[in-house]
Structure 1
Amino acid sequence: MELRHLRYFRAAAEELNITRAAQRLHMAQPPLTRQINQLEEELGAKLFERGPRGLTLTPAGQFFYEHSLQILEKLDTTVTAVRRMVRHNRELFGIGFVPSLFYGQLPLLVRGLRQKDDVELTLAEMTTVEQVQALKAGRIDIGFGRLRIDDPEVEQEVLFEEPMMAAVPVGHPLDGSMPTLEELAQYPLVLYPASPRPSLADIVLGLFRRRGLKVEVAQEAHEMQTALGLVVSHFGITLVPEQVKRQNRDGISYLYLAEKHITSPIVCSRRRGEVPSETMKEANAILKVLVENRISGKYP
């Protein structure tokens, strides 16, 4: 599958007419039809229903459209950033992060670096495992995650340990308490992210298993926001890092745990042995202040 297949599919999905899609792409209709057919064969799924009035997306086609659109939009954003970087002679600096960290002080680091005229920032949501691979491939320069991963090409620094909290629906029997893990294990659990693993989901499961507690996993979600939505829907409860409580989502109570030592690390990953650029030096300086503020209890 090539990028042109995604662009051809997007045009057909938005026009829902092969003739108009071909005109939009400045190509003849038969080649476009062949490309769409090839895409369907490669996917092993029918993307369109053909009718006398044009095309309609199948459920598989709608799913593929939504996700392929994200890929194309990300590509367009990256191309624009690279062109801007070259035009203004800027350094490209990539940051990878797990979503839960963006509720804390990470935005302050981003804001500080954005004030530099000679830097073009790129941000990417990714798990710690994905961050390590992205660092080795040169796609990002620094990553912020929650897993310790042993890799000879990447150095990791634990910035601080963040308390874990229980997220329960408002009115839950545990609402207003400081529950123990044993009490939490009595209720269905929502885990996230479902993939790729290992992830925060494995950290949470390990907390229960090390204490000999069995839990019922009611649902696995790919994103934290989906997991919280499932909590609001009374699918189950979940564990979240402390920073998440700052979003004040309706329908959820965030409870500190009785076991104060239950935490999740904030792990900073960088390429090992690399001479830091001026931007990396500035990032490290900003990061040092932010970590000191967090440890001392000074929130932004």
Structure 2
Amino acid sequence: MDIRQLKYFVAVANARNFTRASELLHIAQPPLSRQIQLLEEELGVQLILRNSRPLRLTEAGRMFYEQALQILNRVDQLKTATRQIGLNQQRTLSIGFVASTLYGGLPMLVRKLRLQHPNVDIQLVELTSQQQFAALKSGRIDVGFGRVRGNDSTVARTILREERLVLALPPDSPLAGESSRIALSALEGQKLIVYPKEPRPSFADHVLSLLNDHAVRPAEVHEVREIQTALGLVAADSGLCLIPASARLRSDLCYRLIDDARITSPIIMSHRLNDNAWYIPVIKEMVAAMYAENPPWLDVEHSVFPGGGGAAPSRPAPEAKPPRVRKKPRPA
């Protein structure tokens, strides 16, 4: 088995047609078919079902395809990194993120990375949690910070902390009369705004799942594309919205902490499984150090940290207090 055979197999799997794949690879079809046959003979299993139109992968073929993609991406990264070092060029670190992480620790983390590793070109790519999984496998990003738990076996995930959720509501809402915590059941029969609308699964599905688990049924659910739109509609008295505590962006809204420490949204760091690159331990150590500093954005009383993990506040968390309305700059 060699790299060329992996490339041939991936091309056939993508095109689902030997003729089309041979055209894309600029080789004749017979030698392409022969190389795939030799690959199957070496593995001792069938990878492609040739009697279907378009071609389909066997179960073994699908697994082989995912692994082959990772190997080819790592080979490309190896070539790029070697050239950059040989030519004394900057290394590149691509970080995927969901928008709400900009209101927490991501900016501080990136500043620290740039300060400690000035020769690394750090690129930020806004992607949903689901998009990050595909971007990691394709090599588009190296690390992702999201909020949705995935089940992709090729992606390693570390929960950095669980962030408490708050209910955003207009100031004249009957539920805004008190500054204390509020039960999740208060959303029963209310108009609910969730985000993002797509792609799914997303934070919207996480919120809806929490409500379903607690048998809370909103009167209707309005889906929008981003958090800024959701909070704008709340301000227009079009519904209520559950958001992470750090994402209280508008000062013209009221925010009430959900009175259940289990109603949270995770901050998840994702990277390729078995990725031993230098930046994985560096980022984890930086996050732990950031949490130990207990910066204002961490909002310790609204965070739950993994038991036994290294990312714990340096001082005991104070007793939880009702969320305050705080003015924060709008994202650029």
TM-score grouping bracket, smaller chain normalisation = 0.5 to 0.7
Residue identity over aligned pairs, in percent, reads 36
Superposed displacement of residue 274, structure 1: 1.5
Aligned to 2:240: 237
Aligned to 1:296: 313
Contact 1:160 1:291 in 2 (8 A): no
Change over 3 Å in CA distance of 1:270–1:256 after alignment to 2: same
Contact 1:185 1:208 in 2 (8 A): no
Contact 1:161 1:265 in 2 (8 A): yes
Length-normalised TM-score, structure 2: 0.60
Alignment of 1:1-300 (within 5 A): 89-115=89-115, 116-175=117-176, 176=178, 177-245=180-248, 247=249, 249-277=250-278, 279-292=279-292, 293=294, 294=298, 295-296=312-313
Unaligned residue ranges in structure 1 (runs of 5+): 1-84
Superposed displacement of residue 297, structure 1: 7.5
Q: 1:284 and 1:260 mapped to 2: Cα distance?
A: 25
Superposed displacement of residue 169, structure 1: 0.9
Q: 2:150 and 2:164 mapped to 1: Cα distance?
A: 20
Name the aligned partner's letter for residue 142 of structure 1.
Answer: V
Q: 1:267 and 1:130 mapped to 2: Cα distance?
A: 14
Name the aligned partner's letter for residue 296 of structure 1.
Answer: P
Superposed displacement of residue 218, structure 1: 4.3
Q: 1:135 and 1:217 mapped to 2: Cα distance?
A: 35
* TM-align CA RMSD: 2.2
Report the 3-state secondary structure (helix = DSSP H, G, I; strand = E; otherwise coil) of the residue aligned with 1:167. strand
Superposed displacement of residue 88, structure 1: 6.6
Deviation sequence 1:85-135 (CA, Å, 0-9, x none): 898711110111111111011111111112222111111111111111110
Change over 3 Å in CA distance of 1:257–1:286 after alignment to 2: same
Change over 3 Å in CA distance of 1:117–1:258 after alignment to 2: closer
Q: 1:143 and 1:291 mapped to 2: Cα distance?
A: 18
Aligned to 1:51: none
Superposed displacement of residue 259, structure 1: 2.0
Change over 3 Å in CA distance of 1:88–1:184 after alignment to 2: farther
Moved more, 283-292 or 156-165: 283-292
Superposed displacement of residue 167, structure 1: 0.5
Name the aligned partner's letter for residue 259 of structure 2.
Answer: A
Moved more, 279-288 or 228-237: 279-288
The count of corresponding residues between Structure 1 and Structure 2 is 213
Q: 1:157 and 1:106 mapped to 2: Cα distance?
A: 15
Q: 1:218 and 1:128 mapped to 2: Cα distance?
A: 21
Deviation sequence 1:160-193 (CA, Å, 0-9, x none): 1110110001121111342211112232000100
Length-normalised TM-score, structure 1: 0.66
Superposed displacement of residue 285, structure 1: 1.9
Report the 3-state secondary structure (helix = DSSP H, G, I; strand = E; otherwise coil) of the residue aligned with 2:157. strand
Q: 1:122 and 1:165 mapped to 2: Cα distance?
A: 31
Deviation sequence 1:198-220 (CA, Å, 0-9, x none): 01101111111112221133421
Q: 1:233 and 1:88 mapped to 2: Cα distance?
A: 54
Report the 3-state secondary structure (helix = DSSP H, G, I; strand = E; otherwise coil) of the residue aligned with 2:122. strand
Deviation sequence 1:254-273 (CA, Å, 0-9, x none): 11112232111111101111
Deviation sequence 1:216-262 (CA, Å, 0-9, x none): 334211010110111001110000001112x3x13211111122321
